[in-house]
Amino acid sequence: NAGVMQNPRHLVRRRGQEARLRCSPMKGHSHVYWYRQLPEEGLKFMVYLQKENIIDESGMPKERFSAEFPKEGPSILRIQQVVRGDSAAYFCASSPFLSGQGYEQYFGPGTRLTVT
């Protein structure tokens, strides 16, 4: 059973370009979470999705950021018109059930975005 897959592992973008990060959850998991980690800091929640639905986007910046989890295919985190402050590690996690009921989240290896 493959773990959570993220690609690319490293992504370099110039200011103003778009960044597209992909996450394939573990088999059988229908809940996907995205987190952002700035250097020397802990992870901060961005968005929680189920198939075709955004459940909680309270951690997403209001502009330039969007996320989707289509019926088929991976979850996508899209950052438009990237700025240097977007440079960070972006982690995806999946869970078979709502984590509030006591199930752990399984994390992918992360995508390290560098904006030049």
Q: Is 96 in the site for other proteins (CB under 8 A)?
A: no
Residues 55-74 that bind other proteins (CB under 8 A): 55-56, 58-59
Preceding omega of 39 cis (within 30 degrees of 0): no
Q: Provide the CB-side half-sphere exposure for 90 (13 A, CA).
A: 32
Q: Which is nearer to other proteins, 12 or 55 (CB)?
A: 55
Three-state DSSP class for 76?
Answer: strand
Q: Which is nearer to other proteins, 76 or 109 (CB)?
A: 109
Residues 17-46 that bind other proteins (CB under 8 A): 31, 33, 35, 41-45
**Smallest distance from other proteins to CB 110, Å:** 5
Alpha-carbon gap, residue 8 to 114, rounded angstroms: 12
**Smallest distance from other proteins to CB 46, Å:** 9
Q: Which is nearer to other proteins, 13 or 31 (CB)?
A: 31
Q: Which is nearer to other proteins, 17 or 109 (CB)?
A: 109
Alpha-carbon gap, residue 23 to 7, rounded angstroms: 7
Contact (Cβ atoms closer than 8 angstroms) between residue 45 and residue 61 = no
Give me the residues paired with residue 106 across strands. 94
**Smallest distance from other proteins to CB 78, Å:** 20
